[in-house]
Amino acid sequence: MVPAPLPFRLAPRRAVANLLFGMIWAEVLVVVLDVWLHLGGGVASPDLAGWFDAASERGVGSWLSVTQTVLLALTLWAVVAVVRQSGAARARVVGWVVLAAFMSYLALDDGTRLHERVGAAFEDSAASKRGIGAAFPSYYWQLVLGPAFAGMGLFMAVFLWREFRESGLWKYVGGAFALLATAVALDFVDGLADGHPLDLYGQLGSLAAVEARAAAWFELPGPAAVLHLSRIVEESLEMAAMTLLWVAFLTHLTRLAPGVLLTWAPEEPARSRVLRADLAPELKPGEAEPSARPKPAAV
């Protein structure tokens, strides 16, 4: 007897609103826990305090960021499936595939710090010692991968403008782009050498008032405290941007497919094609596979 399908009813607007509310508060909590337990010394153990470091790939903040990006990528692949099933134009399907593949890459990059590894590899190469490589003042990943990311961002902007301009979802995409651009700018300043004219963190941290507060609150030099706080802000902006994109894509998915019925198609068990090695040469083409046990003779 085949069991009846199990219906799951979900109010999409409420679900997406709850998701947005939950993710924003989770990201705020990551910042608060870092300032209180890691930067502020609320946990005596350095190893345990590092778990609350929002700027570290080994902290809970990194886990939240990677998990969100993976789920965002899966949402986009679901959009691809629905768009293909609806019989949309090939160009539109390809556009969504490109977005899904790019977000899948970002999930991989976020979890493995691939862009930072590429930048470090370029720094160790001879190309970083000449030409624009020698003149570039910040992290090399921006020089190597920045043009590709900018081109992808331009593609996303044009494609999503065409998809979302009549649905009101473009505001989420525009907000995400603004947050990501700010995060990249903060990362650029982060990579500048001490004493660089644009080293705003060092200049701000060297102020007497900042030095005094950093020593009183965090027992750190002013520049070190400002640098860590800037990295927390940068990571938070990136997570908030991904949250806005996730909300936009989830909302779009619920509008493309107000209801989805997933049916597990029964499959006939495939017959084994594995033969005993000593019997394989004896079989002729089209001959049936012999049974493992001989049948008893008829009486």
Structure tokens at 104: 């899948």
* Tens-digit pLDDT profile for residues 141-186: 999 999 999 999 999 999 999 999 888 899 999 999 999 999 999 9
Asked if residue 153 is part of any domain, the answer here is: yes
* 92-117 per-residue burial string, b: 16 or more CB within 10 A, e: under 16: ebebbbbbbebbbebbebbbeeebee
Helices (H), the chain: 12-33, 46-50, 60-85, 90-112, 114-124, 131-135, 140-164, 170-190, 200-205, 208-217, 222-256
Asked if residue 29 is part of any domain, the answer here is: no
CB of 47 within 8 A of CB of 224? Answer: no
Asked if residue 104 is part of any domain, the answer here is: yes
- pLDDT one digit per residue (tens) for the chain, 299 residues: 667 777 777 788 898 999 999 999 999 999 999 999 999 999 989 999 999 999 998 899 999 999 999 999 999 999 999 999 988 899 999 999 999 999 999 999 999 999 999 999 999 999 899 999 999 999 999 999 999 999 999 999 999 999 998 888 999 999 999 999 999 999 999 999 999 999 999 999 999 999 999 999 999 999 999 999 999 999 999 999 999 999 999 999 999 987 766 667 666 666 655 545 554 555 455 555 555 455 555 54
Provide the residue range defining the domain that includes 168: 68-258
Asked if residue 253 is part of any domain, the answer here is: yes
Asked if residue 278 is part of any domain, the answer here is: no
Asked if residue 6 is part of any domain, the answer here is: no
Question: Domain tally for the chain?
Answer: 1
